[in-house]
Structure 1
Amino acid sequence: MSNDNEVLLDKGKKNETKVKVERKDGEPTGAFKGASWAALLVGVAAYLIGLFNASMELNEKGYYFAVLIFGLYSAISLQKAVRDKDEGIPVTNIYYGLSWFALIVAISLMAIGLYNAGSIVLSEKGFYGMSFVLSIFSAITIQKNIRDTERARERD
């Protein structure tokens, strides 16, 4: 029997072969990848369900939706720029600076919007803030996982 295969007995009836998929060095585990995707789906779904059920005007809902999308994109863009720079891949200073600026603006817009929202109770403000932060953090983690997986597979 090789290291790649593991034989399992099914209560004496028959033999089943299960192939163990080995992780490449530096590749995130399947559990970590799954947890990252679950966190993103939970964060975005909670944010959007809360937004859909909110008693605010449609233009306010559009504002918070646009801030979420802008925040997700800017966080992924910044993560890529930071990682590229760290790995010696050329990144222009203007793109690197704009990536930081965009994420700071997205977070500021969310904070300012929630601070000035008189129609939203404090618990809802906390809900939107936490689901926004969860979504941004998990988007960064997913981008990192994708990059780490591709890099680990390229080494072979």
Structure 2
Amino acid sequence: MNPPSAPAPTVRPAGADDLPAVLAMKNAAWRETYAHLLEPGFLAAQEAELPRAVEAWTRLLGEPGMEVWLAEGAGVVVGMAAAGPADDPALGPEGRELIALYVRARLHGAGLGAALLRAAVGGRPARLDVLVGNERAIAFYERHGFVAVGEPAVLGGPWGDAREQRMVRR
């Protein structure tokens, strides 16, 4: 006899009280996703900066039109997305900027990223920046109608030589 399977994660808006768990999950997803792209010291520093990140994201959540969504399964945050208004006339007044979308690796391919993307930007025109070399994410966004525009930009600072590619869905 097979044990009962865990219920599928649910997606809901995140509030300020959720941010410590949401951002801890984001850091874990970064370690899973970016270990081959970023220096280990940079990823470790994100853990030490968690209290500051929570403060910054709390302020961000208070900005007009900004939304953070979380995916939760069995009381544990396993995914997140954040989006706000896109300051881009080409996208029109309904345009959204996807600021973050992360899902724990064990749930890749389960449809959770798509559910978070729908919650955060829906079918509206949108833009995002994706780390060059994150081929899984690039393919995911392309499947959802995003196309690369322009040349990748070097991030610099603690990101070193890492580059981001702008992607847009009109």
Could you say which structure has the greater relative contact order, defined with CA pairs below 8 angstroms and 6 or more residues apart? Answer: 1
Report which of the two has the higher share of helix.
Answer: 1
Shorter-chain TM-score above 0.5: no
TM-score (norm 1): 0.26
TM-score (norm 2): 0.24
